[in-house]
Amino acid sequence: MGHTATEQAGSGGLTATEHRLANGLRVVLSEDHLTPVAAVCLWYDVGSRHEVKGRTGLAHLFEHLMFQGSAQVKGNGHFELVQGAGGSLNGTTSFERTNYFETMPAHELELALWLEADRMGSLLTALDEESLENQRDVVKNERRQRYDNVPYGTAFEKLTAMAYPEGHPYHHTPIGSMADLDAASLEDARAFFRTYYAPNNAVLSIVGDIDPEQTLAWVEKYFGSIPSHDGKQPPRDGSLPETIGGQLRTVVEEDVPARALMAAYRLPHDGTREADAADVALTILGGGESSRLYNRLVRRDRSAVAAGFGLLRLAGAPSLGWLDVKASGGAEVPAIEAAVDEELARFAEEGPTPEEMERAQAQLEREWLDRLATVSGRADELCRYAVLFGDPQLALSAVQRVLDVSPLEVQAAAKARLRPDNRAVLVYEPTAQPDAAGTEEEEAAK
């Protein structure tokens, strides 16, 4: 094993050491003895961007299959063992990665490492048609509950499909389509696991009340014998022009509680200074109740009950600026959209005030501190920067890059990107008109 240890400027004294096993597994350790707990986080470099047409949803399906048992852990045993030891656990899937994580009492750290190693090394021995069908149904039901059968549930899916053209690796979202979930075979699942669930395609971070020497010995003991795999193909190119080049628009008539205006703007890739500038701009414009759009639409015009603007950071494709406005009463979307465009144009012309810069940067700094304050949050950030940018140490100094952004850079980001010809727009119109129904009820009461 080789290792590096660095205390980054602006890291608040936090440190991390990086190690690598002979099979390619990267291991990141960060000691924190404030509380007797330890977090284990494992990021696999596979997400929905690695999927091919006709087999969308496999990355997310596999997140579920990883909890269905392995060679020495049957059925629901992973959950039972972690929770029985006083720990918590879960897994998530995104465009760019799949992660698994446990937070354990410090004296139960070895159990979490053994569990993760067992399913990395032996899941295929337990993967059969029964477990595949079981989790296929779970994922389909999740899609119904979180996407298809809730108001505005498919908005993200619709907007990403508009913002990223057909054939682009980010055109579809991690949930996948019902048809593709039905089409996935047991052999598809086995091939997916063999390709992506290998130690040389993963980063393991361990943060908390740990003894580094003992922890590394456990990692070597449980993960060291798992063979690497070299069959992974790089994800398809996600690059696109800086701007969309025109406004894309879709109107959706559904049974939703209120009219809504949503939009996705194409913004710089994560990991760049331009992305940090865009993050500050969106925080000023739509990051909470002190933001410009909230003050204009909710407080002043009273045309909306909610207004937000945030950044979905993506490393392998242009990031997305996500605008979400829910209309109030009988407010019309064209009036709301005109007000949004007016505020964005004014911001691009005048730039942020010193007070807005200070408030936005403090807000982003607080969010960064919140993520690193918990052992689980820090473990996740270390994995993120290792997988997406090659260097876990960047997690410890990320906030300084945001604080270094100047007002001129923030203004330039808004002027270049927050324009009507660089967005995909989604307008929701309710199929039922609650105002009209209310009027009929009032008339009947008379």
Query: What tokens were used for 70?
Result: 């392995």
Q: Over pLDDT 90: what percentage of the chain? A: 90
- pLDDT above 50: residue 1: no
Residue whose entry in the numeric block shows the structure tokens 């295929």: 124
pLDDT score recorded for residue 295: 98
Taking each helix axis as running N to C, give the angle between helix 407-417 and helix 333-350, from 0 to 180 degrees, rounded to the nearest 10.
140
Query: What tokens were used for 379?
Result: 């473990």
pLDDT score recorded for residue 236: 87
DSSP class of 235? P
Residue range 388-402, pLDDT digits in tens: 999 999 999 999 999
The arithmetic mean of pLDDT across residues 118-130, rounded, is 94
pLDDT band at 10 (very low <50, low <70, confident <90, very high): very low
Closest by CA to 259, choosing from 306, 320, 316, 315, is 306
Q: Do strands 319-327 and 304-312 pair parallel, antiparallel, or not at all (unpaired)?
A: antiparallel
- 8 A C-beta contact, residue 313 and residue 270: yes
pLDDT score recorded for residue 8: 46
Residue range 338-383, pLDDT digits in tens: 999 999 999 999 999 999 999 999 999 999 999 999 999 999 999 9
pLDDT band at 22 (very low <50, low <70, confident <90, very high): very high
pLDDT score recorded for residue 440: 37
List all residues 6 or more positions away from 373 whose beta carbon is below 8 Å from its beta carbon: none
Which residues on neighbouring strands pair with residue 92, listed in sequence order? 99
Cβ-based neighbour number of residue 33 at 10 Å: 9
Helices (H) and strands (E) in the chain, counts: 16, 12
Question: What phi and psi, each to the nearest 5 degrees, are found at residue 445?
Answer: -65, -30
pLDDT score recorded for residue 12: 57
- Single-letter amino acid code for the residue at 426: L
Taking each helix axis as running N to C, give the angle between helix 407-417 and helix 273-286, from 0 to 180 degrees, rounded to the nearest 10.
80
Q: Where are the alpha helices (DSSP H) in 127-244?
A: 129-143, 155-163, 178-183, 186-196, 212-223
Taking each helix axis as running N to C, give the angle between helix 354-373 and helix 375-389, from 0 to 180 degrees, rounded to the nearest 10.
100
Measured CA to CA, the distance from residue 76 to residue 135 in angstroms comes to: 12
pLDDT score recorded for residue 3: 46
pLDDT band at 189 (very low <50, low <70, confident <90, very high): very high
Closest by CA to 140, choosing from 174, 170, 171, 176, is 176
Burial letters 330-343, b for 16+ CB under 10 A, else e: ebebeebbebbeeb
3-state secondary structure of 306: strand
Measured CA to CA, the distance from residue 252 to residue 158 in angstroms comes to: 10
The arithmetic mean of pLDDT across residues 211-219, rounded, is 98
